[in-house]
Chain A
């Protein structure tokens, strides 16, 4: 995807009390692309996002949004951005509609019709004139999405947006994000703990750990084909596979190899020719979780999963 990036993080850093919380993060985000932002608890996702929208001052580096440097022209840069930082807190004593009206007034050119349109898009038309204090968490999330979309941002930043949505809501949300990314060319940057979520939704993921960006990759790339093979004796099978040129990785009582479908019959023949007992050969889908684990280490993932 060799388009011009809409957002550019240049060597972004944040130091609090002498501790480097964000360390030299550089990242390009492209229009029409959904980028997932992954990292264990305390990795610095929220801090990065807060710096990207001017809630926190950066200690070093720069954020450029559609050609405007955030620190130089805050208003121009932010007019392109829609944000949800963690839970979208609204004014509970006002109706959903008044909340939207409130935020609409802070942008240029958001009409009443546009507010109504967004309300329909997030499916809130039945409850929009009730006080936000009476809303469920999922409804508040929907309203949060609505306020982020009001001004048709070119760049949408979401920090754990699906927290509190029901499965149908999550799917709708995912489809909606895909839709605005594809049809309106919005660039979406979404942090989440839910790896399966990110995997389904994103084109690309950026992984952060201890304040450093450790990996950026396309999600499609990770969809290589792997096979799980269980044969006895296991050691002999592993040796055979390695001499045949496969990378082997032990899993449960067998091994996982990376292989194309067309290679499998040859593998089976070879194994049986050597007199091995084959118990199972099945495609093995490496999930994002496995890769994430690999990248960031199990201990911290356990922490993430426990949340």
Chain B
């Protein structure tokens, strides 16, 4: 199996496209940091008045809590915000600044770029063997088809992880080179108490959450690529799902079924923001739904691939 993986890795990096993708990852992250730097210079030096902002948010949350309109997760989130903001004012603890070294590490935006590029690889890794005609050379070896499939899937996941790591490394680098420390402290509610959060652990946690989206979308692309043997179709459909998912959720939000749609759960980083696509879902529930979809995608990919007659 290790040798099969070695083969997939060799094929992957023998293609120019793969190197271009890795380069693109670096360039896009640098570009993003550059744009932030530029917008920072536009903002000018307003006196930092975080207390007023926190006070404003606190009053807003209290008002909506009293109105009784909030329920479920939105209610819980508002309550937590109130706790954190109370703590900030009481202990004179400023939040992280929007544009600062800490903020870049706290919320690294590598997930969506890594996702797009990993989807391209996942879509092609099986489909291209068919389009090149190499599939018949690959499958007339003393190796069962499911093993070949597994080596390909693992190669895709490794590529995704690698891109995430490259992206995070470049983010850290540009955070230190381009931005000055902004002070402030990230807070969160844990076990009913307000606790301090390290930007590093939160950054890694965000990477992990966004990697779930990379995995599920790439697995979808992998499935389409191996079922329809078409690279382009796999990329197209996957990106379509990725971009239209939240619209579908919004359209169907009145129905119970929305809780069980893949789209509702693709972006787990929403659990670290104040925005929920749906008020009744929680992280463990999302993980369970994602796992079910993942298993279905893999079963479809494997069963089609191992049974198919190769006539290419």
Contacts and interface: CB of A to CB of B under 8 A. Distances in A.
Contact of B144 (A55, A74, A93, A107): A74
B136 interface: yes
Contacts of A50: 136, 309-311
Given A57-B309, A94-B11, A98-B14, A89 B136 contact: yes
A70 B134 CA distance: 21
Interface string B1-13: 0011011001100
A56 interface: yes
Given A56-B309, A102-B11, A107 B140 contact: no
Given A50-B311, A94-B11, A107-B141, A85 B136 contact: yes
Interface in A32-61: 50, 53-57
B139 A74 contact: no
B7 A106 contact: yes
Interface in B137-184: 137-144
B15 interface: yes
B310 A106 contact: no
A18 to B, nearest CB: 15
B132 interface: yes
A107 B137 CA distance: 13
Chain A CB within 10 Å, residue with most, of B15, B142, B144, B307? B142
B311 to A, nearest CB: 7
Interface stretch (A76-84, A174-182, A222-230): A76-84
Nearest to B2: A105
Contacts of A56: 309-311
Interface string A83-121: 101111111111000100111011110000000000000
A147 B136 CA distance: 13
Contacts of B7: 102, 105-106
Given A57-B307, A87-B133, A79 B142 contact: yes
Interface residues of B, number: 25
Given A56-B309, A91-B132, A106-B4, A83 B140 contact: yes
Interface residues on chain A, size class: 20 to 34
Nearest to A151: B142
B16 interface: yes
B142 A103 contact: no
A75 interface: yes
Nearest to B143: A106
B142 A89 contact: no
B308 to A, nearest CB: 9
B36 to A, nearest CB: 37
A152 to B, nearest CB: 13
Given A57-B307, A89-B133, A89-B134, A76 B142 contact: yes
Nearest to B8: A102
Interface string B234-270: 0000000000000000000000000000000000000
Given A85-B136, A102-B10, A105-B6, A93 B141 contact: no
Nearest to B138: A106
Contact of A55 (B14, B140, B143): B140
A55 B60 CA distance: 66
A78 B141 contact: yes
A87 B137 CA distance: 10
A91 B14 contact: yes
Nearest to A101: B10
A112 B33 CA distance: 47
B307 to A, nearest CB: 7
A147 B14 CA distance: 19
Interface in A104-157: 105-108, 147
B38 to A, nearest CB: 38
Given A93-B14, A98-B10, A105-B6, A53 B140 contact: yes
Given A91-B132, A105-B4, A75 B16 contact: no
Contacts of B144: 74-75
A189 B14 CA distance: 34
A103 B137 contact: yes
Contacts of A92: 132
Given A56-B309, A93-B16, A102-B10, A107 B142 contact: yes
Interface in B50-87: none
A269 B51 CA distance: 129
A95 to B, nearest CB: 9
A55 B138 CA distance: 10
A101 B307 CA distance: 27
Interface of B: 3-4, 6-7, 10-11, 14-16, 132-134, 136-144, 307, 309-311
8 contacts: A55-B139, A90-B134, A91-B132, A93-B14, A101-B10, A102-B10, A106-B142, A147-B137
Given A54-B139, A91-B134, A92-B132, 8 more contacts: A55-B311, A56-B309, A78-B140, A81-B140, A91-B132, A93-B16, A94-B10, A98-B14
Q: Can you list the 3 inter-chain pairs with the closest CB atoms, starting with the nearest?
A: A89-B133, A79-B142, A106-B141
